[in-house]
Amino acid sequence: MQSSFIAAANWLKARPETNGKLGAVGFCWGGGTVNFLATQVPELLAGVPFYGAAPNLEDVPKIKAAMLIQSAETDPNINASWPKYEEALK
């Protein structure tokens, strides 16, 4: 499934009616997908994940996009991964 999102990003970037710039916004599962795309699509310029799972930490150095990360307020499953993700981003 995730490879489909990479293919979709590349397809969108190549469309003649666009300027070729990519950004992504997602909520919950979609937020995790935004985090994943940021690690796999170097042309992604901006990402806004809302409450999504963090990506694999070893992939975080690949992120080039500006990220506006919205954490979950009281979701222990999601929040448990954020300290290490934040540290890897720094």
Name the strands in the sheet holding 66-67, side by side, starting at the edge strand that comes first in the sequence.
Answer: 22-27, 44-50, 66-67
24-72 pLDDT tens trace: 999 999 999 999 999 999 999 999 999 889 999 999 999 999 999 998 7
The DSSP letter of residue 86 is: H
- Neighbouring CB atoms inside 10 A of 59's CB total 14
Within 1-90, strands assigned E span 22-27, 44-50, 66-67
The DSSP letter of residue 41 is: -
Task: Please say if the pLDDT value at position 15 is more than 90.
Answer: yes
φ and ψ of 70, to 5 deg: -110, 110
